[in-house]
Structure 1
Amino acid sequence: MRAFTEERDWAQFHDPKSLILALTGEVGELAELFQWLPADTAANRAHEGHLHQRAGEELADVLLYLVRLADVLNIDLAEAAHRKLAGSSARFPAQEVHGQAPEKS
């Protein structure tokens, strides 16, 4: 993403606020694909055809903006994800929460 951005001289537009707004917009586009689908059929309908293709495109946009934002903020996403998962594992031990939706704290 950095090389792609630098080749186009777009770094000047990639401040954190602008990237967060772009990321939010892409998440919105992904949500729009599923907005009116019945929850019990959404996953099956998304496995093939046009919806599958569009969902992949929007997920790619989300990923690319997220990766670019992490780069601009100098955050190692893999490390941050591992730390977050370790913290969540401690907060929600599998044997205590198995099959239950976590409560907000």
Structure 2
Amino acid sequence: MKEIENKIIEFVQARKWDQLEHPDSLIKSIVIEAGELLECIQWNNECDKNKISEELADVMIYCFQLAYSLNLDTIEIITNKLIKNTEKYPVKD
């Protein structure tokens, strides 16, 4: 996962977009891209995997950028959330 995070950061920095990346802007961008993801099924439930994958990638890229801008370790925060969810939602037999 760190390899892809580094590629995202390199891409952004090479274009000097990192100076525009404040958490508030990134959060807004995540919501906007999530809306575009929702548009993929807005009028029907037929899934165009290519379009969905592009929009999902946009959401994920912005999420990685937000984590980077806040100096958050993505592996750590996801692992911690999975632990919390495991406790909150135990498997029922």
* Amino acid in the other structure paired with 1:71: Y
Rg larger in 1 or in 2? 1
Aligned counterpart in structure 1 of residue 56 of structure 2, from 59, 64, 72: 59
Aligned counterpart in structure 2 of residue 90 of structure 1, from 84, 87, 92: 87
Q: Give RMSD over aligned pairs.
A: 1.2
Cα distance in 2, alignment partners of residues 57 and 15 from structure 1: 23
Moved over 2 A (4+): none
Cα distance in 1, alignment partners of residues 19 and 79 from structure 2: 31
Instruction: Give the aligned partner of residue 32 of structure 2.
Output: 25
Instruction: Give the aligned partner of residue 3 of structure 2.
Output: none
- TM-score between both structures, scaled by the size of structure 1: 0.76
Alpha-carbon offset, residue 62 of structure 1? 0.6
Cα distance in 1, alignment partners of residues 89 and 62 from structure 2: 29
Q: CA-to-partner distance for each residue in 1:21-43, whole Å, 9 max, x for gaps? A: 11110000000111222xxxx3x
- Whether 1:11 aligns to 2:18 is yes
- TM-score between both structures, scaled by the size of structure 2: 0.85
Unaligned runs of 5+ in 1: 99-105
* Amino acid in the other structure paired with 1:35: Q
Sequence identity percentage:
36
Alignment size in residue pairs: 86
Cα distance in 1, alignment partners of residues 57 and 64 from structure 2: 10
Instruction: Give the aligned partner of residue 103 of structure 1.
Output: none
Unaligned runs of 5+ in 2: 1-7
SS of the residue 1:23 aligns to: helix
Alpha-carbon offset, residue 70 of structure 1? 0.6
Alpha-carbon offset, residue 81 of structure 1? 0.9
